Structure 1
Amino acid sequence: MPTKRGLLIAGAGLLAAPAIAQQRVTRLLVTFPPGGSTDILGRIIAPAIERHLGHTVVVDNRGGANGAVAMAALASAPADGSTFALDAGGATTNPHLMRGLGFDYATAFAPVTQATILPALLIVRGDSPIRDFQGFVAHARANPGQVSYGSSGVGTGSHLAGALLMRRAQLQATHVPYRGGADQLTSIRRGDTITTFSTIPTIAGLIRDGAIRPLVASTPQRARAYPDVPTVAESGFAGFSIYDFHAIYAPANTPSEAVSRMASAVRAAMNDPELQQRFLSLGLEPAAHGPEAFATFLRQRREEMGALIQAEGIRLEG
Structure 2
Amino acid sequence: MRRRALPALLLASPASLLARPAPAQERPLRLVIAWPPGGSTDALGRMLAPPLAARLGREVVPENRSGAAGAIGAALVAQAPADGTALLLDSGGHATNPWLMRGLPFDYLAAFAPVALLATLPLLLVVRAGHPAADAAALAALRPEAYASVGVGSRTHLAAAAWARRGGFSATHVPFRGGAEQVTALLRGDVPFAFASVALAAPHLEAGRLRALGASAAGTPWPALGLDIKDWLGLHAPAATPPALVARQAEAALAALAEVAPRLPPLGMAADGRGPAGFAAFLAADRAAMGALLRAEGIEAG
Q: CA deviation at 1:187?
A: 5.6
Select the residue among 250, 272, 276 that pairs with 1:263.
250
Where structure 2 has 5 or more consecutive residues not aligned to the other structure, the ranges are 1-22
CA, structure 1 residues 251+220, in 2 after alignment: closer, same or farther (shift >3 Å)? farther
Secondary structure at the aligned position of 2:127 is classed as: strand
| Separation (CA, whole Å) in 2 of partners of 1:192 and 1:32 | 22
Number of residue pairs the alignment of both structures matches: 278
For the Cα contact (< 8 Å) 1:110–1:249, is it kept in 2? yes
Residue 177 of structure 1 is matched in structure 2 by: 174
* In the alignment, structure 1 residue 51 sits paired with structure 2 residue 76: no
CA, structure 1 residues 288+121, in 2 after alignment: closer, same or farther (shift >3 Å)? same
Matches within 5 A, 1:124-135: 124-135=127-138
| Separation (CA, whole Å) in 2 of partners of 1:78 and 1:209 | 44
Residue 154 of structure 1 is matched in structure 2 by: 152
For the Cα contact (< 8 Å) 1:149–1:162, is it kept in 2? no
CA, structure 1 residues 131+261, in 2 after alignment: closer, same or farther (shift >3 Å)? same
CA, structure 1 residues 289+303, in 2 after alignment: closer, same or farther (shift >3 Å)? same
Secondary structure at the aligned position of 1:173 is classed as: coil
| Separation (CA, whole Å) in 2 of partners of 1:283 and 1:252 | 30
AA in 1 matched with 2:212: P
AA in 2 matched with 1:179: F
Cα deviation digits, residues 179-198 of structure 1 (max 9, x gap): 35456445655666443211
Supply the RMSD in Å over aligned alpha carbons.
Answer: 2.7
* In the alignment, structure 1 residue 276 sits paired with structure 2 residue 261: yes
Where structure 1 has 5 or more consecutive residues not aligned to the other structure, the ranges are 1-19, 141-145, 234-239
Q: CA deviation at 1:277?
A: 4.2
Give the TM-score taking structure 2 as reference length: 0.80
CA, structure 1 residues 176+31, in 2 after alignment: closer, same or farther (shift >3 Å)? closer
Residue 225 of structure 2 is matched in structure 1 by: 232
| Separation (CA, whole Å) in 1 of partners of 2:109 and 2:117 | 16
Q: CA deviation at 1:33?
A: 3.8
> What is the percent sequence identity of the aligned residues?
42
For the Cα contact (< 8 Å) 2:127–2:192, is it kept in 1? yes
Q: CA deviation at 1:89?
A: 2.0
Cα deviation digits, residues 258-277 of structure 1 (max 9, x gap): 112111211111211xx334
AA in 1 matched with 2:80: A
Which one has a bigger Cα radius of gyration?
1
For the Cα contact (< 8 Å) 1:74–1:251, is it kept in 2? yes
| Separation (CA, whole Å) in 2 of partners of 1:278 and 1:120 | 18
Residue 250 of structure 1 is matched in structure 2 by: 237
* In the alignment, structure 1 residue 98 sits paired with structure 2 residue 101: yes
Q: CA deviation at 1:201?
A: 2.1
